[in-house]
């Protein structure tokens, strides 16, 4: 296994059509995918990720049903891309090896296998299947703030030894402070940097995604994620158009046409936004309490149903240490908070 050649200082992956699926409640249409891929491709984006927000196989009662079958969306994306690779996310336990094979048949050329930051040992089977299929391989170590830099590097080693070409520091909660992010970047680069690239995926819950992306580059990270209009879970991802502008100002070559990115964000993505990701109370609590970003809409729905504040649900989820895949526990938290409220009301009366 060798790491892929990259032609620029930084290789940008756009996740509008995957992480953005969370913010869109997984309701992307085929035409929206086609238009977005075409615009990203024109702007020089090298990798475009397309799948359910929770990865291939994620369309379900627990995580939310997709409006359009994701294999249809992947195939549409592949038809529109002229130079960009199409990537998919796969979370072991949600997506299967057969889901990966179907995604490859539909046109996916890269898989990003995502595990909790301490559970890389569940990924080797999927990396093995991906390598058999000839796919480029990326490993997402999610909720990277939940373990030490040293242990995160050990988890990256497991992924690289299994066939991963680019392990990622994945700040799923948008919780990493700048010094914490740097420590993790440096630890991964020191551990696997001679054999693999290192990547970074940030969220804007406390507004540090772009700043941490610059620190990532300074630390030797060469794969960096963004989303147009920041479209993603929580308060969204580092905006691709901002990353392009910032790196251009710094003289860091990305191969991106910043004007074309701005056109893509304003003229293609913004018109179909259900909601503009923003740093409101709920999203900031996610970053502050270290809560998985995709919990946001689930908490808002549960809050409305049980008449409890969503930010209190999210804060309690942080206290309990819930991670991606435990979205069903949000209902339990909401019910518990409602019961506490009722008991307090009864005591007062």
> For every one of its 349 residues, what pLDDT tens digit does the chain have, with 9 covering 90 and above?
688 999 999 999 999 999 999 999 999 999 999 999 999 999 999 999 999 999 999 999 888 899 999 999 999 999 999 999 999 999 999 999 999 999 999 999 999 999 999 999 999 999 999 999 999 999 999 999 999 999 999 999 999 999 999 999 999 999 999 999 999 999 999 999 999 999 999 999 999 999 999 999 999 999 999 999 999 998 999 999 999 999 999 999 999 999 999 999 999 999 999 878 888 998 898 889 888 888 888 888 999 999 999 999 999 988 888 887 788 889 999 999 999 888 877 777 6
- Helices 295-306 and 281-289 sit at what angle, rounded to 10 degrees? 120
- Classify residue 134 by burial, with Cβ atoms within 10 Å: 0-12, 13-18, 19+: exposed
Do 213 and 264 reside in the same domain of the chain? yes
Do 341 and 246 reside in the same domain of the chain? no
Do 186 and 332 reside in the same domain of the chain? no
Is 71 part of a structural domain of the chain? yes
pLDDT at 1: 65
Q: Which positions are annotated as active-site residues? A: 22
99 is in an annotated binding site: no
Do 159 and 302 reside in the same domain of the chain? no
Question: CATH number for the domain including 323?
Answer: 1.10.8.60
Do 260 and 220 reside in the same domain of the chain? yes
Question: CATH number for the domain including 197?
Answer: 3.20.20.70
Is 211 part of a structural domain of the chain? yes
SS3 of residue 191 by DSSP: helix
Task: Report which secondary-structure segment, H or E, holds 15.
Answer: strand 11-17
pLDDT at 306: 93
Q: What residue numbers bound the domain in which 343 lies?
A: 294-348
Do 341 and 196 reside in the same domain of the chain? no
Do 340 and 241 reside in the same domain of the chain? no
Is 277 part of a structural domain of the chain? no
Do 268 and 299 reside in the same domain of the chain? no
CB contact burial 8-47 (16+ within 10 A = b; e otherwise): eebbbbbbbbbbbbbbbbbebeeebbebbbbbbbbbbbbb
Do 253 and 308 reside in the same domain of the chain? no
CA-nearest of 96, 84, 24, 27 to 55 is 96
Interatomic CA distance for residues 281 and 116, integer angstroms: 25
Is 179 part of a structural domain of the chain? yes
116 is in an annotated binding site: no
Is 143 part of a structural domain of the chain? yes
pLDDT at 278: 84
38 is in an annotated binding site: no
Do 203 and 342 reside in the same domain of the chain? no
**Where a domain ends, among 272, 303, 331?**
272
Tokens of 164: 């991963």
Do 101 and 186 reside in the same domain of the chain? yes
Is 159 part of a structural domain of the chain? yes
Note the helical H segments in 58-208. Answer: 70-80, 97-106, 124-132, 149-161, 178-192
63 is in an annotated binding site: no
CB contact at 8 A, 35 and 270? no
292 is in an annotated binding site: yes
Is 185 part of a structural domain of the chain? yes
Do 160 and 16 reside in the same domain of the chain? yes
């Amino acid at each position: 296994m060798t790491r892929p050649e990259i032609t620029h200082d930084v290789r940008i992956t756009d996740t509008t059509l995957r992480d953005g699926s969370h913010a869109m409640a997984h309701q992307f249409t085929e035409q929206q995918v086609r238009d977005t891929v075409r615009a990203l491709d024109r702007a020089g984006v090298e990798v475009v990720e397309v799948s359910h927000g929770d990865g291939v196989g994620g369309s379900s009662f627990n995580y939310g049903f997709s409006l359009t079958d994701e294999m249809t969306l992947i195939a549409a994306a592949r038809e529109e891309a002229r130079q960009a690779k199409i990537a998919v996310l796969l979370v072991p336990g949600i997506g299967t090896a057969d889901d990966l094979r179907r995604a490859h048949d539909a046109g996916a050329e890269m898989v990003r296998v995502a595990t909790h930051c301490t559970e890389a040992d569940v990924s080797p089977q999927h990396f093995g299947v991906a390598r058999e299929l000839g796919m480029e391989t990326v490993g997402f170590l999610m909720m990277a703030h939940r373990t030490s830099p040293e242990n995160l590097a050990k988890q990256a080693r497991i992924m690289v030894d299994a066939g991963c070409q680019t392990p990622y520091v994945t700040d799923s909660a948008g919780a990493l402070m700048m010094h914490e992010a740097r420590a993790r970047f440096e630890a991964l680069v020191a551990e696997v940097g001679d054999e693999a690239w290192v990547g970074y995926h940030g969220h804007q819950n406390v507004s540090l995604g772009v700043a941490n992306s610059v620190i990532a580059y300074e630390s030797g990270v060469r794969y960096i994620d963004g989303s147009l209009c920041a479209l993603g879970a929580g308060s969204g991802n580092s905006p691709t158009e901002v990353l392009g502008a910032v790196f251009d100002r710094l003289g860091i070559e990305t191969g991106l046409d910043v004007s074309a990115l701005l056109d893509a964000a304003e003229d293609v993505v913004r018109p179909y936004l259900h909601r503009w990701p923003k740093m409101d109370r709920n999203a900031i609590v996610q970053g502050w309490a270290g809560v998985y970003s995709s919990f946001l809409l689930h908490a808002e729905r549960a809050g409305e149903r049980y008449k409890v504040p969503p930010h209190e649900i999210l804060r309690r989820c942080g206290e309990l240490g819930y991670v991606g895949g435990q979205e069903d526990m949000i209902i339990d938290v909401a019910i518990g908070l409602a019961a506490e409220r009722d008991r307090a009301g009864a005591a007062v009366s």
